[in-house]
Structure 1
Amino acid sequence: MQIKDVLLASGNGAFFYDDQEAIRSGAIQDGFVYVGRPTTPGFKSIRIPASSLSVGLVLTDDTVVWGDMMNVQYSGAGGRDPVFDINEISSLTSRIVAPRLLGVDASRFRGSCTNVLESVGQQRLPLAVEYGVSQGLLRAAAHLQRKTMAEIICTEFGLPLPTRGVPIYCQSGDAREINIDKMILKGVDVLPHGLINSRQKFGADGQTFMDFVKWVATRTREIGRQGYHPVLHFDVYGWIGQEIGLDPQRIADFICKVADTVPDFTLNIESPADFGSTQAQIENYAKLVSILDNRGSSARLVVDERCNTLEDIRLFAEAKATHLVQIKTPDVGSIADTARAVLICKENGVGAYVGGSCTETDLSAQASVHVSVATQADMMLAKPGMGVDEAFSIVGNEQNRLLAMLNHRRSQNENVEEKTLSDAKLS
């Protein structure tokens, strides 16, 4: 028995849970709060502080490894799990999950995830539980095998040890201009998200958004170092469809128009429209991809809403209904499924972006780095929080430490192989 006890500790997510429907419907911001009544079930106000729950696995050598549970910022929207209820999640974890954890071989990551995260009857465990518990199990396997979490992923999925890092993507939150300057000065690979989540930010016929895109490109040239050329990535929260309509041809026309304003940059447009269901999203996003590709546009379509679980990601990738999938880690559930999702995207020639949410924690962000690097995702989100400095530091430093450890491990293995060959020749 490698796990002898289970601990739970309440915690904070790094940002807030927001009622997306209320914001889309025109809720007014007053300072940092939104004024008005919430419309999504589970929200007592439109913006509430994000909570989290840490699960600690006490191993037989008394080491405690942790994973963090939480939901995403826009919980309850686009087919996602409802807003995080710490009391409900704590009770379920104590009753159902903790007894399972005491009986698994924690050195086998994928096997232990399968056993511990099994459905209860026909009901899947809350995705937040899957996410946090699987982080703990990944750390447990890494500790027991004296390896990094990335090495565990590589071993269990038959992947070579990575030699290079993954591009990092930062999001600005509402403090857009200052945070974008920070991103440019720090040489972030992909920027700025922009939080285009209201009619005010998108503008009539999208003009405000287009002006913002041009400003980001201009600012990059003005204060960026020589040769700095980031990918420009904007999340528009479905506002192209809301403002212009849901005709794929018109949406593609608008995206191409935006791309033409910044011809020297690769442009990612995330969530251009919400077509109301996963199937409708797949059908219409596939049309958008086809139109953009046929035109030779430099713009890339990124799917988020309606593409939550591993099965959703598989459907979008196989249908070529996006250029890039945001693998929103708390919505996917088990972090083993995040690894599977990246590999499914690669098998289908679709880009894999290991994202997540500003509501996450330092621990979940670090675990995501190991999965991203091990699977060689196309990019990964700097998280948690909406501040550039903290998130970029947590994710960037963890990646650099990981690569240094992997290089050291590789060097040691090469030395052992050389000595073995030398000894063989002498004998």
Structure 2
Amino acid sequence: MHIEKVIFAPARGGFFYDDQAAIRAGREMDGVAYLGEPLTPGFTSVREPARALGIGLVLEDGAVVWGDMVSVQYSGAAGRDPVFDPRAIEAVCRARVVPQLIGMEAAAGPDNCARAFAHGDEPRLPLAIEYGVSQALLRAAAHARRVTVAEVVAEALGLPAPGEPVPIFAQSGDDRRNAVDTMILKQVDILPHGLINSAGKFGADGAAFIDYVRWVAGRIEALGAPGYRPVLHFDVYGWIGLGHSDDPRAVAEFIARLAARVPDHTLQIECPVDYGSRAATIENYAAIVEALDGLTDKARIVADEHCNTLADIEAFIAARAAHVIQVKTPDVGDLMDTARAIRAAREAGIGAYCGGTSAETDHSARACVHVALAARASMMLAKPGMGVNEGLTIVGNEQARALAQIAARRS
């Protein structure tokens, strides 16, 4: 079964594209909007609606399989691609990718990804293109073979079809208290993210953040079912470095003290410091990990910034510069590279968080579920959007359906 035609459709992301540099610089919020001028090139305002672009592959039997090209919320930050421009992305896609796709044998999905994204002497394609096109190519293979995308990816990795669910991580957005209640009532595996992205949320020497962590643990105790002990995961967007210290030993001591305040839970801290480059981040995160391991076994460092592509992730793994690595799917590009990154981390004994962004679409989120299952991620993000219920429903239900289909074929 071959690909006969390629079509495009405008799409909406689940949240916004935000100028991280402007937010860190203290741009004031007005309701949901941010006031003031953007700082990152490509942004026309500090907060912009997340736009995406769907790419559909029309197959010989008339079926159309889709993928969504989209970028991350904080585009243009920490070495990431610029903010998403649908017109520019479509133009590049039509010129460089569509001619490669026409006539491809649909069943050869993973191999087709490698062929479609080979760039020779030309610059690498925007990662949003790799991301959306790989979704469509893997779905084409699954359709042609009459299996799930998870089975296609697992076979390409040399792994058996998955049979166990991946723990789900939900994020609160700015509704940082009501969202936690929702997560607890729904017994989410890992929570709450917290969006600690400003001086006010971190507080003087971390006081506001510490209070929030303790409040989350107390709320679990008050509302949670007996024995419910989720992992506590907070993304602090570099604010331990900005608001406390960027010295690796001091960072480790701060996190260890915080972990001691919530002894019933494992504590994960994402992006404790932004050291400004991949090399500096790897060097300092490796030192934080080593120091933290000597202080507690109840806390973990999660790498995100400057850990974008498969090559970046492999460098973090080699240096053991994190306990958990976020494989941030739109930043990685080709979903097969996401699968390879997850497998590499797990083989090295490092946690592999199949992440992504609130700015994604429902369609890209569902595709990522299959990759997380196939590669045996240690956790995956409930996405898109910043609400709890929607992302949890999309990701959780897709996982349950995929596992049910695979189990049915085994019985």
TM-score with structure 2 setting the length: 0.99
Structure 1 partner of 2:83: 83
Partners of 2:302 and 2:324 within 8 A in 1? yes
Note the C-alpha offset of 1:299.
0.5
Structure 2 partner of 1:303: 303
Structure 1 partner of 2:52: 52
After superposition, what is the alpha-carbon deviation per residue over 1:55-96, rounded to whole angstroms, capped at 9, x for unaligned? Answer: 000000010000000100000000000000011001111111
Matches within 5 A, 1:338-417: 338-411=338-411
For 2:283 and 2:11, the matched residues in 1 are separated by 40
Partners of 2:134 and 2:335 within 8 A in 1? yes
Partners of 2:151 and 2:162 within 8 A in 1? no
The answer to which of 292-301 and 48-57 deviates more is 292-301
Matches within 5 A, 1:15-414: 15-119=15-119, 121-411=121-411
Q: Secondary structure at the match of 1:176?
A: coil
Partners of 1:3 and 1:106 within 8 A in 2? yes
One-letter amino acid of the structure 2 residue matched with residue 237 of structure 1: Y
One-letter amino acid of the structure 2 residue matched with residue 262 of structure 1: V
For 2:310 and 2:227, the matched residues in 1 are separated by 38
One-letter amino acid of the structure 2 residue matched with residue 172 of structure 1: S
After superposition, what is the alpha-carbon deviation per residue over 1:10-30, rounded to whole angstroms, capped at 9, x for unaligned? Answer: 111010000000000000101
Partners of 2:253 and 2:295 within 8 A in 1? no
Q: Secondary structure at the match of 2:16?
A: strand
For 1:145 and 1:388, the matched residues in 2 are separated by 34
For 1:190 and 1:381, the matched residues in 2 are separated by 9
One-letter amino acid of the structure 1 residue matched with residue 148 of structure 2: T
Partners of 2:345 and 2:351 within 8 A in 1? yes
One-letter amino acid of the structure 2 residue matched with residue 43 of structure 1: F
Partners of 1:165 and 1:403 within 8 A in 2? yes
Q: What are structure 1's unaligned runs of at least 5 residues? A: 412-427
Q: Secondary structure at the match of 1:401?
A: helix
For 1:338 and 1:144, the matched residues in 2 are separated by 22
Note the C-alpha offset of 1:108.
1.1
Residues paired across the two proteins, number: 411
Instruction: Kindly report the root-mean-square deviation, in angstroms, between the aligned alpha carbons of the 2 structures.
Output: 0.9
Note the C-alpha offset of 1:107.
0.9
After superposition, what is the alpha-carbon deviation per residue over 1:278-330, rounded to whole angstroms, capped at 9, x for unaligned? Answer: 01100100001101112233110000000000000001011111000000000
For 2:331 and 2:397, the matched residues in 1 are separated by 25
For 1:81 and 1:329, the matched residues in 2 are separated by 13
For 1:132 and 1:352, the matched residues in 2 are separated by 21
For 2:119 and 2:169, the matched residues in 1 are separated by 34
For 1:295 and 1:258, the matched residues in 2 are separated by 12
For 1:113 and 1:367, the matched residues in 2 are separated by 14
Q: What are structure 2's unaligned runs of at least 5 residues? A: none
Structure 2 partner of 1:417: none
One-letter amino acid of the structure 1 residue matched with residue 176 of structure 2: R
Note the C-alpha offset of 1:104.
2.3
> Would the alpha carbon gap of residues 28 and 43 (structure 1) be closer, same or farther in structure 2, given more than 3 Å must change?
same
Question: Larger radius of gyration, structure 1 or 2?
Answer: 1
Note the C-alpha offset of 1:257.
1.2
Q: Secondary structure at the match of 1:15?
A: strand
For 2:303 and 2:164, the matched residues in 1 are separated by 26
Structure 2 partner of 1:425: none
Structure 2 partner of 1:7: 7
For 2:187 and 2:120, the matched residues in 1 are separated by 46
Partners of 1:217 and 1:262 within 8 A in 2? yes
Q: Percent of pairs identical after alignment?
A: 56
Q: Secondary structure at the match of 2:301?
A: strand
For 2:341 and 2:266, the matched residues in 1 are separated by 24
For 2:143 and 2:364, the matched residues in 1 are separated by 17
Note the C-alpha offset of 1:106.
2.2
Note the C-alpha offset of 1:220.
0.5
Note the C-alpha offset of 1:120.
5.7
Partners of 1:104 and 1:115 within 8 A in 2? no
Note the C-alpha offset of 1:156.
1.2
> Would the alpha carbon gap of residues 392 and 17 (structure 1) be closer, same or farther in structure 2, given more than 3 Å must change?
same
After superposition, what is the alpha-carbon deviation per residue over 1:258-293, rounded to whole angstroms, capped at 9, x for unaligned? Answer: 111101100000000011110110010000110111
Partners of 1:259 and 1:297 within 8 A in 2? no
After superposition, what is the alpha-carbon deviation per residue over 1:22-41, rounded to whole angstroms, capped at 9, x for unaligned? Answer: 00000010101001110000
The answer to which of 239-248 and 262-271 deviates more is 239-248
One-letter amino acid of the structure 1 residue matched with residue 354 of structure 2: V
Structure 2 partner of 1:415: none
Partners of 1:281 and 1:306 within 8 A in 2? yes
Note the C-alpha offset of 1:161.
1.7
One-letter amino acid of the structure 2 residue matched with residue 59 of structure 1: L
For 2:119 and 2:22, the matched residues in 1 are separated by 32
